[in-house]
Structure 1
Amino acid sequence: MTRRHASKFFPSVIAQATLAAAVAVSAGALVGCKKAPPANADAAAQQALLVSPEDVQTMGNSDFATGPVITGSIQPEKRADLRAEVQAVVLQVLKENGERVKKGELLVRLDDTAIRDSLTSADESVRASDQSFDQAERQFQRMKTLQGQGMVSLQAMEDAEIRRNNTQSDLVAAKARAASARQQLQRTEARAPFDGLVSERKVSAGDTAQVGKELVKVIDPATMRFEGLVSADAMAELKLGETVYFKVNGVESGDFQGRVRRIDASANPTTRQVAVLVDFVGEKAPTVAGLYAEGRVQTQSISALMLAEAAIQREGDKAFAWVLGGDGKLAKVALKLGQRDDRLAQYQVLEGLKAGDRILRRPGSSLSDGRHFEMSKPAAASAAPAASAASGG
């Protein structure tokens, strides 16, 4: 082979050799990456759960209030439905829903034109009847005097007395018609029967109010009470003065406490429930009427193992709790729950736990059975060595 041809051949051979070496190095690097596991994979899997003392609840017996469930609404004791007592057109509605009113304050005014005309006519009849009676009375007195002197007959005197009595009857009837017209005139004005609030306005100016039509509703928010219903099956458990714990929808101030004031003597024939009246005790009652309320009448209190609802994990119909074992491992324990204490949001534990068990108050969803845990030191205890070290330096 000539030198010129060799110079053309060797560069391509060298290039191919260099490329093959580079491919081999790359393949080795890929194989090395596939075989090398992460250094901290096992450590992450075996990392202990750090638990603070605030996250741990020690099980123990506590009082559990039992009794029949009561449902109902918050209603004022003083409430009035003002209705039209005469047929007339509504001229003015002076108060709106939620506005405060004073006793005797005008709320609704009806058209009184026709009634005023009737009153004027009745007053004129009274005036005319009064004049006729006065005249008949004077005539009777004259006849009585003349009859005593023998100048007129007894029959003439009796006729004068009859006329006097008739005019007196006409006067009484005229006064009654005038009083009725005046009363009708007063009924064209709807006034507040007591201090309170307008809870519902039923009419507007221009409406025709028939007799019996609702105009406005007035309530006294200071007289709220719980009007509840209890199943007739639990009627034997109810007693006057028993404590009631209940919640009110829309009110975020927690549970309310009440006391049974009245128990109806008969049950509703349709629902088979007994009406119970409960007064608020110790706390300010809601000021809004009609709010739904639900609770329990505390007929008796027993000692039981109670568990907060936040510490319970549910999987379908099953309930579990996470127990901190003495071996430093978490244990997922199945529970059998009893009744719920609505006042404290706790359940009675029938099986699965015992007094003295330590459980997580608010377990997360990523826990695993058998996982190790460690108790963290309180903040005050961990800060004390650091402070002493700083002073020593």
Structure 2
Amino acid sequence: MSLRAHPTLVLTTLALAALLGLSACQRPEAKSKDKADAKPALLIAPEDLRQVGSSGLVGAPVLTGSVQAARRADLRAEVAAVVLQVAKDNGEPVRQGDVIVRLDSTAIRDNLTSAEEALRASTQSFEQTERVLQRQKTLNQQGMTSMQALEDAELRRNAAQSDLAAAKARVVSARQQLTRTEVRAPFDGVVSERKVSVGDTVQVGREIVKVIDPRSMRFEGQVSADRMGEIKVGQAVALRVNGVAEGEFKGRIERIDAAANATTRQVEVIARFEDPASAPKVAGLYAEGRVDTGLQTALVLPEGSIVRQGDEAHVWQIDGTKLKKTAVQLGERDARRGEVVIKTGLKAGDQVLRSPVGSLNDGQPVQRVAAGGAASGVRTAVVKP
């Protein structure tokens, strides 16, 4: 059978071929469309999230000061001498009674030797005058000596007794001076500041070394007199210490001075750490505190979790297994703590992205992973519908 004899068969064959070709051309496009419809899931680890919380420190009184040791001692020279040895340096621990600095004791030892010889001579003189007095008393009772001789003997005995007492005092003083050539730790602690070196000549009253007890750290700060009416002994304080990465420390106001500084018009406030074991062990660090007055409580979030677009702001909230773009209304900003008050849009306990970056979509699936499994909320995995 020829093709010319059956034109209908020819048309049917050509149409079938065209349909097959069209179908073959559409298959890659369909695959591409399916692939495009796959939704990227956001991999989120616990460290990528931040929980919305309330704070009672909004507008609270600010304390500025430093961390200091409540138990500290400034050891000064009690004798004039040359420094022979420095046994402990800055940062080294000391036990009570340990020698920290040793001074030259040569001249003081000579004085002690001289005082001891004078004491020996005074003792002998007193004993001799005492024997003479006893003999004069015996002779006077027998009528063999006059009353004047007895009184003279008693006067010599009394003078010798006074010389003996003075000689004993000089020996005690010389021995005390000798002990003062060794500067010892008054309590268990750490050498915080050494101010002399071997060969230095120190005079009486010169500061030699400072010793602190790191277990007695506390916050010593000042507050403006205008805010004095808001603080009381026993109130909680949130402390931030410069150079310490542990975050905030909890404390309690322990003492408020009764007089303001005549120059700054600020009042000194002392606060103790609630957990002394975790308190900073370095004295002199700058610190800032916020007193929890409890007068105003509001929801707060760090600025890094908030995305601003002109006059509007939003956060990326975790809504079950999806990412939700939530508009928020902002309030007061705490420049010191880097937090912003959230007026509307969130409630306490809501979870938001800590640092939203990259391309995020409203309704995007969320996949939770173990700690360290995501990188600040920017890693994604394709999840097919």
Q: Give the TM-score band, short-chain normalised.
A: 0.7 to 0.9
Instruction: Name the residue aligned to 2:3.
Output: none
For the pair 1:235 / 2:228, whether they are aligned, the reply is yes
Q: Post-superposition shift, 1:80?
A: 1.0
Is the Cα–Cα contact under 8 Å of residues 56 and 293 in structure 2 kept in the other structure?
A: no
Unaligned runs of 5+ in 1: 1-38, 387-393
> What is the aligned partner in structure 1 of residue 364 from structure 2?
375
1:101 lines up with 2:94 in the alignment: yes
Matched, 1:133 2:122: no
> Secondary structure in 2 aligned to 1:373?
coil
C-alpha contact (below 8 Å) 1:263/1:275 kept by paired residues = yes
Structure 2 equivalent of residue 11 of structure 1? none
| Partner SS, residue 266 of structure 1 | strand
For 1:1-393, what aligned pairs fall within 5 Å after superposition? 52=42, 62-66=54-58, 67-282=60-275, 284-300=278-294, 302-313=296-307, 320-322=313-315, 335-340=329-334, 346-350=339-343, 353=345, 361-364=354-357, 373-378=362-367
SS in 1 for 2:148: helix
> Do the aligned residues in 1 keep the contact of 2:66 with 2:221 (CA within 8 Å)?
yes
Q: Report which stretch shifted further, 330-339 or 275-284.
A: 330-339
Residue of structure 2 equivalent to 1:31:
none
For the 8 Å contact 2:253–2:270, the answer to whether it is kept is yes
TM (normalized to structure 1)? 0.73
Compared CA separation, residues 274 and 210, structure 1 to 2 (3 A) = same
Asked which structure has the greater CA Rg, the reply is: 1
What letter corresponds to residue 283 of structure 2 in structure 1? A
Shift of 1:189: 0.8
Cα pair 2:44 2:366 within 8 Å, conserved: no
> Aligned partners of 2:71 and 2:227: how far apart in 1?
29
Change (3 A) 1:96 1:347: same
Residues of 2 paired with 1:52 and 1:196: CA distance?
Answer: 52
SS, match of residue 132 in structure 1: helix
Kindly report the root-mean-square deviation, in angstroms, between the aligned alpha carbons of the 2 structures.
Answer: 3.7
Contact kept? 1:68, 1:297, Cα under 8 Å: yes
| 1:157 to partner: Cα distance | 0.4
Asked if structure 2 preserves the Cα contact closer than 8 Å seen for 1:64 and 1:341, the reply is no
Give deviations 1:129-152, integer Å, cap 9, x for gaps: 111110101111111111111111
Native 8 Å contact 2:78 2:205 kept in 1: yes
Maintained 8 Å contact 2:64/2:221: yes
User: Structure 1 CA distance, aligned partners of 2:50 and 2:209?
Assistant: 57
The amino acid across from 2:247 in the alignment is G
Deviation at 1:172, TM superposition (A): 0.7
Structure 2 CA distance for aligned equivalents of residues 116 and 61 of structure 1: 70
Structure 1 51/320 Cα, relative in aligned 2: closer, same or farther at 3 Å?
A: farther
Deviation, 1:295, is 2.0
Does the aligned pair in 2 maintain the 1:59–1:355 contact within 8 Å? Answer: no
Residue 60 of structure 1 deviates from its aligned partner by: 7.4
Q: Unaligned regions of 5+ residues in structure 2, if any?
A: 1-28, 370-380
CA contact (8 A) 2:328 2:342 kept: no
